[in-house]
Chains A and B, each alone.
Chain A
C-alpha cells in the first residue's frame, strides 16, 4: 500500500495543471528519520485540486494530514516529488521565495489560531499586508476592519487576542489569512479547539469563502463534515485513499 501511487482526480502531466487546477502534487513523499527508524508521513501522493474547490483532508491522527498541508503551503518540503501551487513550483523554492509567495497566494489558518498575543486583532490582520507590502499603508487598517466586519467580529478589532473567545480568535485568524486576498486558504484543524456549535460556524464560513471564489483546503480529523465540502480526501498512513465526492450541499 505504501508504494501505491494514488490519484484522486484525473491528473494532467506533472507540474502542468490544467487551467482549472490550482494545486497539483505528483509522486510526493515525505520521510522522517526517527529514533525508531524511518517513518513515511506521505507516500507517493498525487493530487489535483481545482480552483474554487472546497476540499476536506480527513484521516486519523498521524495519517499525514498536517504533513500534506505543510507540503502544499511550503511550510515543509517533500522528500521527493513535485508540488505545483498557483503556478509556482513550491518544492523548488527557497525559504525566502516561499515567504513572499505564501504571503500573497496562500492564507494559512492554524488549529490554535496563533494570533500574535501582543498585537490587537486589527493589527494581527494588518501584519501580512505590512510584511508583504500589499496595499497602501493608509488602506491597511480600513481593509482589516472591513475583513473583521465581514467575519462578524468588527467590534473586537481593538482587543488583544486573549480577550476573545476561541471562535472569535479563529475568525480573526481567518481574517488575517484573507488579508492579502490570496486565492487559496489552507487550514490545519481549524476547529480542533472549538466547541461543536462554533466549529460548525467556522466550517460554514470556509464554505462561504469557497463560494465567493477562494480555493479551500482543510485538514480535519472530524469525519462528519462532508456537508461543507465539495470533496473529501482521506489519508491513511500517508497514502491517499480512493476519492470520495460528497454531495454538494454547502459549497
Chain B
C-alpha cells in the first residue's frame, strides 16, 4: 500500500495532469529525437562497416599498361601485401534513349567466382554473366530505363555501338548510388569487353595491405615501395589510386549529418529539460504552502526534495518509455533511408545496449538535474516565508526599474496594458520560457537557414555555370575542328575548349598517386584548361586571382583541390604529375566551386606545356541560345561528332548536373526539416506550460477582475495577449541567437561534408515562418488556460488559495 506522502504526490500529479503531460510529451519528443539519432548512428556505423568492409575494399589500385596473373603472383610475394587481384575499369557510354547517353563505368572481372577484393554480391539473374551480357549495379537499373534480360546499347572508346543484354543485378556497397552520380555501373568478363571492341587486357591490380590497413600513410608507403620494386622488375606503375581507407565514398557526408543531428537532438533535450524546470517551478509555486505544512508537521527538506525529485525521475522514465520506442522506430526509418542513399543493405536493425542506456540516462538525469534547482529552492524556504506566499505577490510589482518602465506603457485598452505588465511579473519563469522558446526558434531558424544556404549554394553553383553542355571526348582532336563541328549546330551560341586530364600531386619517387575511388569520380583531381577571359564560369576567387592571358606556369586551384593540398598557399610552386610528366606550376589563386571535383585550372598555353600537346582539345563547353533546348541540342552535338568519328566519352548537361547535386544534398535537407519540427514541438509545449502555470497562479486576480465587471472575453483576451506578447519577445531574441548558431553549424556541416563552410544565409522565410508559428502557438497555448480561467466562477476564483 502506498504511503500517504506518495499518495499526495499522485494526487498532485492528477491535479496538474495537463501540465505534467506536456512536460512528459516534451521529454518524450526530445528523447525520441536523441534515440533516433543515436540508434541511426549505431546502426549506420555498424552497417557501413559490414557492407563496405564486407567488400574487402582495396587499400590501393595500381594501374599498369597491362596486368596479368604472373604480375599478381609477383606482388603477392612482397612483404606487407595481404592480397592482390587483377581487374580493370573502362569508361563507356550507355544509350538510355535514342541518342541520349549516360556514362557507363564497366568493371572487368576475370573470375567472378574468384572475386576477393572490391567484391560485390549477386542480387538476381545470372552469375557470372554469360558472354555478351553484363550485370548492372542494382541502383543503376532505373537509369538504364530498361529491365533485366533486355538489351542495351553500349559504346566504348574504341568500338562501335553494340548491343548487350543485362543478365542480372548485383549489389556493390563500395559505390555510391548510381542515381546520385548519374553514372551506370556494369560488370562483365574480359571476353564480353573484347566483343565491345576493346582489347580485353587487364590493367589494374587491386592490393590489400597487411598492416595498418586503416592508415593512409602506411598504405601510401607500402604502395610506393611496391611500385618502386615493380618498376625495377620491368613492371612500371602508371598510377596509384588510394581512396580514403575503410571509408565509403559518402561516409563523411553521412557522419556530418549525424553529428549535426546529434547536436540538435541534444539541444532539444536541453530544451525539454528547461521545460521540465519551468513546469516543476510553476508546480512548486503552487505547492509552497503545502511544502510548508508538511515541514510544519515533521517532514524534513530531504524527504520533500526526494518526493519531488522522485516525481520528475518517474516522469522522465515514463517519457523515455514513450519516446524511446518512437525514437528507435524513427532511427530505423532514418537508417533505412540513409542506407538507400549510401547503397547499403541493412542486415540488422538491432540497437546496442548503450543507446538504450544513454537515452534513459539523458531522459531521466537531464530533467532531474535541471529540476533540482527549483526543487531545492522550494524546500529550502522557511515555513514562515512559504506559508505567507500568495503566488503572484502584489508587493512585488512596482519595486523595480522594469516595473516603472512598464508602467509608462499606456494603452487605451487596460487589459492590454495589464497583459504586457503581467508578462514581467514572474521574471525567472519568463526568462526560462523565453530561453526555451528563443532557443527553439533559433534552432528552427538555423535549420531553415542551413537548408536555404544549401539551396543557395546549389543555385549559385547553377548560376555560376554559364554554359549548358560539357562534352568530353575519348581522344583529343584539333580545337578548330571541335569548335567548327559543334559551333555549326543549330541552337549553339558559343563553344570553348576546356581540356581535361587526370592529375596527381607529385610524391617521393614521382609516382602518380591519386585519391580516387574505384568509381573514378570520388576523390579525383584533374588539370583543366580554361580561357582566361571566359565567362562560362563565375570566378568566385577566394584568394589570389583568376588566370590572365600569358600565364604559362600558373594554376588556379578550386577549394576541393586545396583540400588535397592543405598546406599550399597562393604564391607556392607545386609539382603535379600529368600524363606521367612532372610539371611545376605556381598557384595564383583559389576558386570556390561548390560540388565540383578537385581541379587545377591553367590557361590553354599553360595546359599545352603541361600536357605536352598544343592546339588539341578533349573537352568543350557549349553555351546555347535557348537553355531549354539542352537535351535536343546535346543529342545533335553527339550525332554531329559521331558522323565525324569523334568518340564522345561523356556528355554532361545542366539537368544531369542538377540531378547529381540535388541527390547529394537531399538527405541533409530532410534531416534539417525533421529537426526543425522537433524544435517547434518542444518550444510550443514550453510556452503552453508556462502560460498554464501563470494562469493558475493568478486565479484570484481573475476573480477580482470579474468581480469588478470584466467579462470572460476580457479575461480570455488578457491571457492570450500575454502569451502572444511572450511569443513575440522570444522571436526577437531568437533572431540574433540564430546567427552564431547558423554560422557554427554551417561551418561544421559544410566542412565535414564538402570541405567548405556553409555561408551564413538568413532565410527570410525562416524568420517569417517562425514568427507565424510562434504567434499561432502562443495564441493556442495560452487560449487553453485562458479558457479555463474565463470559465471559473467568481466564487471559485476568490476561494483559490
Contacts and interface: CB of A to CB of B under 8 A. Distances in A.
* B contact residues, range: 20 to 34
B3 interface: yes
Nearest to B290: A116
B392 interface: no
A75 to B, nearest CB: 4
B12 interface: yes
Given A123-B4, A124-B4, A127-B5, A132 B11 contact: no
B8 A123 contact: yes
A124 B300 CA distance: 17
Interface string B1-44: 00111011011101100000000000000000000000000000
B101 to A, nearest CB: 77
Contacts of B301: 95-96, 99
Interface string A77-114: 00000000000000000011001101110011010101
A128 interface: yes
A167 to B, nearest CB: 17
B5 A102 contact: no
Interface in A166-216: 176-177, 179-180
B142 to A, nearest CB: 63
B379 to A, nearest CB: 9
Query: Looking at B295, B296, B384, B801, which has the most chain A CB atoms within 10 Å of its CB?
Result: B296
11 contacts: A76-B384, A95-B295, A96-B302, A102-B296, A102-B297, A102-B298, A116-B11, A126-B4, A127-B8, A131-B297, A177-B297
Interface string A115-127: 0111100011011
B212 interface: no
Contact of A99 (B7, B12, B300): B300
B330 interface: no
B297 A108 contact: yes
B383 interface: yes
B199 interface: no
Interface string A60-80: 000000000010010110000
Interface residues of A, number: 33
A4 interface: no
Contacts of B11: 116-119
A73 to B, nearest CB: 7
A103 B293 CA distance: 11
A99 B299 CA distance: 6
A107 B297 CA distance: 7
B542 interface: no
Query: Looking at A110, A118, A124, A126, which has the most chain B CB atoms within 10 Å of its CB?
Result: A118
Interface string B284-307: 000001100111111111110000
Contacts of A137: 3
Query: Looking at A75, A100, A102, which has the most chain B CB atoms within 10 Å of its CB?
Result: A75
Interface of B: 3-5, 7-8, 10-12, 14-15, 289-290, 293-303, 380, 382-384, 387, 801
A42 B611 CA distance: 102
Given A70-B384, A114-B293, A130 B3 contact: yes
B8 A119 contact: yes
A218 to B, nearest CB: 16
A76 B382 contact: yes
A250 to B, nearest CB: 27
Given A110-B293, A116-B293, A128 B382 contact: no
Contacts of B300: 96, 99-100, 131
Contacts of A104: 298
B382 A119 contact: no
Nearest to A113: B293
B801 A112 contact: yes
B383 A131 contact: no
B7 A123 contact: yes
Contacts of A127: 4-5, 8, 294, 297
Given A75-B382, A99-B301, A118-B14, A108 B7 contact: no
Contacts, number: 89
Nearest to A126: B4
Contacts of B801: 112
A130 B5 contact: yes
Contacts of A180: 298
Q: Give the 8 A-B CB pairs with smallest separation, nearest first.
A: A103-B298, A118-B11, A131-B299, A123-B4, A75-B383, A128-B297, A76-B384, A132-B298
Interface string A28-72: 000000000000000000000000000000000000000000100
B7 to A, nearest CB: 6
Nearest to A71: B384
A122 B14 CA distance: 19
A65 to B, nearest CB: 14
A51 B192 CA distance: 113
B298 A99 contact: yes
A72 to B, nearest CB: 12
B8 A128 contact: no
Nearest to A96: B300
Nearest to A97: B300
B15 A131 contact: no
Given A70-B384, A123-B4, A127-B294, 15 more contacts: A75-B387, A76-B384, A99-B295, A99-B298, A99-B300, A99-B301, A107-B297, A110-B296, A116-B8, A116-B294, A119-B4, A127-B4, A128-B297, A131-B5, A131-B300
Contacts of A118: 7-8, 10-12, 14-15
Contacts of B294: 116, 127, 131
Contacts of A103: 297-299
Contacts of A132: 298
Contacts of B290: 116
A19 B559 CA distance: 93
A132 B4 CA distance: 12
Contacts of B15: 117-118
B20 to A, nearest CB: 14
Contacts of B380: 95
A177 B384 CA distance: 18
Contacts of B293: 110, 114, 116
A164 to B, nearest CB: 15
Nearest to B11: A118
Nearest to B300: A99
Contacts of B4: 119, 123-124, 126-127, 130
Query: Looking at B10, B301, B383, B801, which has the most chain A CB atoms within 10 Å of its CB?
Result: B383
B296 A131 contact: no
Contacts of A75: 296, 382-384, 387
A56 to B, nearest CB: 21
A132 B380 CA distance: 18
